[in-house]
Structure 1
């Protein structure tokens, strides 16, 4: 029995030793493989990476009613009191948002108080006009009555002395001139009073019409969808999404959009240091964190002519639009996109990682592994991106190079080929 146990222990020990040796060889082999890069040909791409957001290329804006553009309202800012959640599917005419009515209600109260004052002034002007003109007409009537008596006196004076006749003629003429003067005064006073009444009437009508506009604006604070679609919040200064409590007005009327989901774009921003490299027609690859494993091809369609400041950016940025070549039902507006804009592409090039390059005495070299030895090799580089560099001279396809400097104990033979 002891002999059998001893035998099993010996077998187990040998197996364990082989396992440890095999594991060590595998780890050593893995380290060797990881430390060596095999040169190969590929398509070189120079890429600018940006973050963006998916939108519909065409969209219907949900905006304030045109009544809010009327300067007679004298209300320029409206606070968003409530909104449907972003992404809500709405039908035409469905409620989307409500604006705070406080400023409008205050304006209505002030306007109605002014309208009451103007109405009182208009009534006073009409009464004053009627009384004043009535008094002048009464004076004219009295003078015309007096003129008839002056005429009788004048007719009877022909039997009197010439002096008396002249006196009667003078009295008649004086009364006639008074009538003419009163009639002229009547016309002038009538014109003046009519103008005054019209001014008061215009002032009253302005406040009356403004009250109608304010009532219409009050109704328009409930904003509805102009068409069916998915509600996507608009963006405000700083490129953030609009939210409850924000101010909107005639100069910032867009509250949300209803995008056309059949054609999608990625709206992104490129730093001013890189914008000169980007041009319309450049290819792009778009991925979305919410849809892992999917890549959407695209093309740069528009580039802004003027830079802008963006919250969180160190320098000015330029808006760039990328048209997606095709879409997916799972791809929705508002999703964050990862954009790779290909600004330079050279096919069939020898490529190596940048970490395989080293600088020695002003020369660019790699460490070539050949025939079991390590050699220095001078190389000439071409275009490069953040990860890879093109080798135009010094290496061949399938050459094996180190991706780190030789370690202690690793002998370097010198420059390969002398």
Structure 2
């Protein structure tokens, strides 16, 4: 009997050592990342990144002259622009537009004016010369008629045939005179139209030069009102800055926002937009104030989506009115918006990484004193951080975040 006990003693010692290892050293030596099942408020929400904008703002625009279609300048470059966030008063300097394009057009217009002036002078000279020649032709035709009239008078003493021939020559001379007169009137009208056309072109170019000179003096942009300067965004999402171009089709250089109402503008993915509605509560964090959480309410939801750049999916524009809580929120600040779909108190939760799908089951790997065991669970919703546990775990249980080999 004693011999048998001595044989079993090493086996018992090995078992006790294994249990002791699991009880006292396993957490430190397994090297497995562990999370604890917690109890608290569970929020089911949709998250999106946005940017703060003012509900109302005053646009800082290109000079009015540039919107005139007679000015043949498609776009113009911003040479200088005050730093974003600069506080300005009405009339303060904001930006300078590149004058090189305007100066080139002024030079071209002056050259055109010189050419038109020369053409106009030439047209007037040609008109005078042509009309003088036409008048001479009329005078010659009149003299010819008088000559034929005399011959008719003298033919009374001649035969009938000679009289008839003299009369025919007179009629031909009269017709020629009338033709010369018609030609003169047509030539005069043609020359008048030609001169008028050149004069009209000259006046138009003079007006263009006047507009361009006005534009050159208006390339220094000043604030139309008091406020804080905020850059506008291009069609590709980049902020308009020094080196960017503006045109009559996109005339905004910057804006002066009304900070009394601040919106967080974001795009919600089409798979989530059906969960978002006007009046929905939103929790907002802003990069500039990482320790603060702001409350918001959905103001509008777009009916038509557009492709979100770089994500190859459609998004719907959503505007959220933000409660600033006394903080100075400025347009352009980045926001993270959590659209609260549902809130539940006293719920069990684990990190999303702790739940795995195996076949038709959702499971976790629970850490116990005797090792890691697989545990089937029933879940009831998730958010960006946690999954709600309905059945299968208790508060304080520990689960691993990577499945064991």
**TM-score exceeds 0.5:** yes
Question: Of 229, 233, 236, which residue of structure 1 is paired with 2:231?
Answer: 233
Which position in structure 1 is the counterpart of 2:398? 403
Query: Which of the pair is proportionally richer in strand?
Result: 2
Distance 1:379 1:165 in 2: 133
Matched, 1:353 2:332: no
Distance 2:358 2:67 in 1: 70
Distance 1:400 1:225 in 2: 61
Q: How does 1:3-18 map to 2 (within 5 A)?
A: none
Q: Do the aligned partners of 2:364 and 2:399 also contact (CA within 8 Å) in 1?
A: no
Distance 1:349 1:186 in 2: 106
Distance 2:389 2:399 in 1: 17
Which position in structure 1 is the counterpart of 2:307? 308
Distance 1:363 1:256 in 2: 53
Distance 1:132 1:36 in 2: 106
Q: Do the aligned partners of 2:234 and 2:240 also contact (CA within 8 Å) in 1?
A: yes
Distance 2:373 2:100 in 1: 81
Distance 2:314 2:376 in 1: 40
Matched, 1:323 2:321: yes
Distance 1:325 1:50 in 2: 18
1:87 aligns to what SS in structure 2? coil
Q: Per-residue deviation at 1:176? A: 1.9
Which position in structure 2 is the counterpart of 1:248? 246
**TM-score, normalised with respect to structure 1:** 0.74
Q: Per-residue deviation at 1:187? A: 1.8
Distance 1:210 1:174 in 2: 53
Distance 2:173 2:354 in 1: 122
- Residues 319-340 of structure 1: CA deviation (Å, up to 9, x unaligned): 4322114553522222232322
Which position in structure 2 is the counterpart of 1:12? none
Q: Do the aligned partners of 2:75 and 2:245 also contact (CA within 8 Å) in 1?
A: yes
1:339 aligns to what SS in structure 2? strand
Q: How does 1:122-161 map to 2 (within 5 A)?
A: 122-148=120-146, 150-152=148-150, 154-155=152-153, 158=156
Q: Which sections of structure 2, spanning at least 5 residues, go unmatched?
A: 1-23, 29-33, 401-405
Q: Do the aligned partners of 1:93 and 1:225 also contact (CA within 8 Å) in 2?
A: yes
Root-mean-square deviation (CA, aligned residues, Å) is: 3.4
Which position in structure 1 is the counterpart of 2:296? 298
Q: How does 1:65-84 map to 2 (within 5 A)?
A: 65-84=63-82
2:266 aligns to what SS in structure 1? strand
2:78 aligns to what SS in structure 1? strand
Q: How does 1:198-213 map to 2 (within 5 A)?
A: 198-213=196-211
2:289 aligns to what SS in structure 1? coil
- Residues 163-221 of structure 1: CA deviation (Å, up to 9, x unaligned): 66445534433332221111111122223222322332333333223222322332332
**Residues 326, 289 of structure 1: alpha-carbon distance in 2 compared, 3 angstrom cutoff:** closer
Distance 1:400 1:287 in 2: 29
**Residues 77, 358 of structure 1: alpha-carbon distance in 2 compared, 3 angstrom cutoff:** closer
Which position in structure 2 is the counterpart of 1:262? 260
Distance 1:111 1:204 in 2: 10
Q: Do the aligned partners of 1:366 and 1:401 also contact (CA within 8 Å) in 2?
A: no
**Residues 363, 170 of structure 1: alpha-carbon distance in 2 compared, 3 angstrom cutoff:** closer
Q: Do the aligned partners of 1:262 and 1:327 also contact (CA within 8 Å) in 2?
A: no
Q: Do the aligned partners of 1:129 and 1:190 also contact (CA within 8 Å) in 2?
A: yes
Aligned pair count reads 362
Distance 2:358 2:333 in 1: 47
Matched, 1:50 2:48: yes
Q: How does 1:88-99 map to 2 (within 5 A)?
A: 88-99=86-97
Q: Do the aligned partners of 1:271 and 1:316 also contact (CA within 8 Å) in 2?
A: yes
Distance 1:356 1:83 in 2: 51
- Residues 93-114 of structure 1: CA deviation (Å, up to 9, x unaligned): 3221111111121122122212
- Residues 378-411 of structure 1: CA deviation (Å, up to 9, x unaligned): 642211223333334457xxx5331236xxxxxx
**Residues 360, 107 of structure 1: alpha-carbon distance in 2 compared, 3 angstrom cutoff:** closer
Q: Per-residue deviation at 1:152? A: 4.9
Distance 1:368 1:81 in 2: 65
Which position in structure 2 is the counterpart of 1:332? 330
